[in-house]
Amino acid sequence: MSESGGHVLSFPHMGNYHVPMVTLASMLDTEILVAPRMTRRTLELGTRYSPEFVCIPFKYNLGNFIESLESGANLLVQAGGGCRFGFYAEVQEAILRDSGYEFEMLRLFGSFELRDYHRQLRRINPKLTFRRALWHYRLASRQTNALDVVEDYSRKNCGFEVEDGAFERAFEAFLGKLGRTQSFAEVDTLERETLEELAAIPTERPDDALKVGVVGELYVVMEPFSNFFVEKELAKRGVEVHRHMSVSEMIAHSGRNGPKHLRKLIEMSGPYLHYHIGAHGTESVGLARQFMQDGFDGVLHLKPFGCMPEVNAMTALQRMSRENLFPILFFSYDAQSSETGVRTRLEAFCDMLRMRRRRDPGLAEAMEVCA
């Protein structure tokens, strides 16, 4: 309990989604503590207390929880889903209790059915009406959507800014304002004004700018700290970066829309996949093929070490890359991954993409080396 005797709620980080998460969590009328910013210490703490071979999002989440508990949180929220994610909450709760922490755990499981979640949330706030829960959910979803739209624009354009850091400054200002929006109209206005502001930032884009798509496991794709900021690193090398994965996309394809979306992804995968391979593996193959057909120069595939759905996807992606001489760079992250190693491989990858543009006869050999 906090000094006031109430709950202090916290949740793990993933990209900038803590902003809509605060809007969502405020329906519980508890104090909200955003976990301290991710640092190497977050991963070290998570790694120290985790089973060695568990996937890295588990370790980051656990590190976030420990840092939040140290800062005064006493109510932790964890979601769950297919694959190992379904066991995160239970195992993390057991580890933290064994380590001597006292707290409550709110495990949110369900199929994105609001009625289900409402029942679970009333355990913390018995006065929570469905109508109020719905309002918070809708506002948080709208904020999420604005965040994704603005991030998408920045990702595609920041590599060509004339003044270093111009996009980042505008984005940070947007993020601060987004957290203060209280209505749909305010989010609409903020999104429109921010996009106008970003469009007015001077850029110099060469006609032959490289275009790269990013696919992979949702956490390492959407949490830049965990992937060593690969999108920013690509942008620094003058690359236009595209990715479809975002929380807005996940919401849009959840619940009843899920099976239809999966069928579409399998169709998009063409000869490389004939059935669903779990979590976002099918998405990785379908979207990578889409990027290839859309004339992109290459694809980055990001995954945590030992993530089975993405290991499955890799076999299909490697075949796609080989048969089409289409460069795909694979990154597998664990607690020992080195930032320098990631940067060096990215540098080599960009050189290889330029070779492909020049139709360099040494491309096939370079792809073997880079794989």
- Binding-site ranges for ligand SF4 (CB under 6 A): 55, 57, 83-85, 217, 219, 279, 304, 307-309
Angle at 85 between CA 79 and CA 86, to 5 degrees: 75
Query: Which one, 57 or 298, has the nearer CB to ligand SF4?
Result: 57
Query: Which one, 198 or 287, has the nearer CB to ligand SF4?
Result: 287
Query: Which one, 190 or 317, has the nearer CB to ligand SF4?
Result: 317
> Shortest distance, CB of residue 4 to ligand SF4, whole angstroms?
35
Asked whether the beta carbons of 9 and 25 are under 8 A apart, the reply is yes
List the helix and strand counts (H, then E) for the chain. Answer: 16, 8
> Shortest distance, CB of residue 309 to ligand SF4, whole angstroms?
5
Query: Which one, 179 or 278, has the nearer CB to ligand SF4?
Result: 278
Tokens coding 335:
């607690």
Contacts of 208 (CB under 8 A, 6+ apart): 357
> Shortest distance, CB of residue 311 to ligand SF4, whole angstroms?
9
> Shortest distance, CB of residue 263 to ligand SF4, whole angstroms?
20
Place of tokens 């140290």: 70
d(CA 57, CA 106): 18
> Shortest distance, CB of residue 223 to ligand SF4, whole angstroms?
11
Q: Which amino acid is at 192?
A: R
Tokens coding 179:
């957290």
Of 313, 238, 271, residue with least CA distance to 83: 313
> Shortest distance, CB of residue 51 to ligand SF4, whole angstroms?
12
d(CA 40, CA 61): 13
d(CA 235, CA 224): 13
Query: Which one, 13 or 118, has the nearer CB to ligand SF4?
Result: 13
Query: Which one, 49 or 153, has the nearer CB to ligand SF4?
Result: 49
User: How far is CA 87 from each of CA 12, 248, 252, 297, rounded to the nearest angstrom?
Assistant: 15, 24, 24, 38
Angle at 108 between CA 106 and CA 114, to 5 degrees: 125
Length of the chain: 371
> Shortest distance, CB of residue 333 to ligand SF4, whole angstroms?
9
d(CA 346, CA 237): 9
> Shortest distance, CB of residue 315 to ligand SF4, whole angstroms?
16
Query: Which one, 32 or 218, has the nearer CB to ligand SF4?
Result: 218
If one counts every other C-beta atom within 10 angstroms of the C-beta of residue 158, the result is 23
Query: Which one, 133 or 279, has the nearer CB to ligand SF4?
Result: 279
